[in-house]
């Protein structure tokens, strides 16, 4: 039976997917959303601007690892959905510490707080990267967890903590494992927004290694709807894959961007590969489909709309790319790889 909720705390809701999810709750489901977010370099109040002033919307700045502040913000909420995380694989390779603090300790504190408050449902938003390289076939939820990077290892630890809390303390928590997500409002350190905005700025597109790594692309609104389905229908203690069903190599993605922006192949710069780079991710999402979810956005339409969104919303990403957090990262990571 579907659960209903009146007010949901959306941790990490000032980021990419969480902000789309908060909007989905408010606008499509009439559910109040309290966005709780630390506002790290990736958190962005611009992502929430259109909801500001809505009586069903509130924003609280805070860290999920700060149990006291989290408990105050969650007062009156009947569910918590946790998007809060350090999310960039390359940053986890350069500096893993923050990933352990948020994705492991922060996730633990969030679940402990939810337990103490008697929260009716918790969704821990995780990733297909916990399965590591999927050389052939598609990973279902029972696939072994073989994470490759400090990021995916920290997310896998969060998944295991969630299952432990479900079994030992009967916390009603589900885990979602989404595939590579794209769409408006994604921080421009990730492949698609980095390449599109670099192309728009006249900069080169730094393709790692041979560019033949494969990812399964999922539109952000489909990802948000998948998480909502698990919130309403998911069985506690269970994981649910949320895959787009659109496998593409990085070269194919790059070619689409070049074509859409009318740029030559020479705009691509082949750079040193990411250490430990997973070659392929692929998800079997049939379990979530039995709950009525399926991805609705056709990839060709979604990627074209996304490229156009970055073209038409330069102020959104120019503010980020001209800031210190971004420029220091670019110098630190890319300078030595060319
Ligand atoms: P993002 O980096 O855009 O946003 C993360 C948000 O979390 C930011 O607003 C940040 O300020 C906030 N945050 C970070 N540490 C925090 C802390 N300690 N306390 C409170 N807030 C904190 O990330 P995203 O791409 O929207 O990803 C959201 C979730 O979805 C993550 O858990 C990620 O692992 C997962 N995921 C992402 C993808 C993808 O392709 N983007 C795919 C599958 C799963
Ligand atoms: O699969 C889900 C995951 O997808 C999420 O859990 C992560 O939070 C999210 O960041 C994403 O991880 P990836 O490592 O797959 O995404 P990223 O955009 O960093 O890279 C996608 C692919 O593009 C990957 O094979 C590396 C490659 N790449 C990336 C960058 C930033 C490049 O070739 N050049 C680049 O400059």
Residue 151 is among the residues annotated as catalytic for this protein: yes
CATH number corresponding to 7-182+218-242? 3.40.50.720
Residue 337 confidence (pLDDT): 83
Residue 28 is among the residues annotated as catalytic for this protein: no
- How distant, in Å, are the alpha carbons of 12, 115, 203 from that of 110? 12, 9, 40
The pLDDT tens digits for 292-313 are 999 999 999 999 999 999 999 9
Q: Stretch 139-147: mean pLDDT, rounded? A: 98
The pair of structure tokens assigned to 115 is 């337990």
Architecture of domain 191-215+246-276+297-326: Alpha-Beta Complex (3.90)
For the chain, give every domain's residue range. Answer: 7-182+218-242, 191-215+246-276+297-326
Average pLDDT of every residue of the chain: 98
Distance 266 CA to ligand 1 centre (A): 33
Distance CA 153, CA 159 (A): 10
pLDDT band for position 336 (50/70/90)?
confident
Mean pLDDT is lowest, of 18-22, 53-57, 217-221, 332-336, for 332-336
Ligand 1 pocket test target in 10, 13, 17, 217 with most atoms within 8 Å of CB: 17
For 59-86, b where at least 16 C-beta lie within 10 A, e where not — what string?
A: bbebbbbbbebbeebbeebbbbbbbbbb
For 311-321, b where at least 16 C-beta lie within 10 A, e where not — what string?
A: eeeeebbeebb
Q: Is the model's pLDDT at 338 over the cut of 80? A: no
The pLDDT tens digits for 58-80 are 999 999 999 999 999 999 999 99
Residue 57 confidence (pLDDT): 98
> Which of 86, 129, 189, 247 is labelled catalytic?
129
Residue 128 is among the residues annotated as catalytic for this protein: yes
Q: Is the model's pLDDT at 224 over the cut of 80? A: yes
């Amino acid at each position: 039976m579907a659960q209903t909720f009146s007010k949901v705390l959306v941790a990490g809701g000032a980021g990419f997917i969480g902000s789309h999810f908060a909007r989905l709750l408010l606008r499509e489901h009439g559910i109040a959303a309290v966005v709780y977010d630390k506002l790290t370099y990736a958190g962005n109040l611009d992502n929430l601007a259109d909801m500001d002033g809505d009586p069903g919307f509130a924003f609280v700045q805070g860290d999920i690892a700060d149990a006291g502040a989290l408990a105050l913000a969650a007062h009156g909420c009947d569910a918590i959905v946790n998007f809060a995380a350090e999310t960039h694989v390359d940053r986890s390779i350069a500096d893993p510490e923050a990933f352990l603090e948020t994705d492991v300790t922060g996730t633990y504190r969030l679940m402990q707080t939810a337990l103490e408050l008697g929260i009716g449902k918790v969704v821990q938003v995780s990733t297909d990267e916990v399965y590591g390289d999927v050389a052939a076939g598609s990973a279902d939820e029972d696939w072994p967890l073989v994470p490759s990077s400090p990021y995916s290892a920290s997310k896998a630890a969060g998944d295991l903590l969630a299952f432990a809390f479900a079994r030992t303390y009967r916390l009603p928590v589900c885990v979602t494992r989404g595939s590579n997500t794209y769409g408006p409002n994604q921080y421009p350190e990730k492949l698609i927004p980095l390449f599109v905005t670099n192309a728009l700025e006249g900069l080169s597109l730094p393709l790692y290694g041979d560019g033949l790594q494969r990812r399964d692309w999922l539109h952000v609104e489909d990802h948000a709807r998948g998480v909502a389905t698990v919130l309403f229908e998911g069985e506690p203690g269970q994981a649910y894959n949320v895959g787009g069903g659109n496998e593409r190599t990085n070269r194919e993605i790059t070619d689409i961007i070049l074509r859409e922006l009318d740029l030559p192949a020479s705009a691509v710069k082949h750079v040193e590969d990411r250490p430990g780079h997973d070659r392929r991710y692929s998800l079997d999402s049939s379990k979530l489909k039995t709950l009525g979810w399926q991805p609705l956005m056709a990839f060709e339409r979604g990627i074209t709309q996304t490229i156009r969104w970055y073209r038409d919303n330069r102020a959104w990403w120019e503010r980020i790319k001209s800031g210190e957090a971004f420029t220091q990262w670019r110098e630190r990571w890319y300078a030595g790889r060319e």
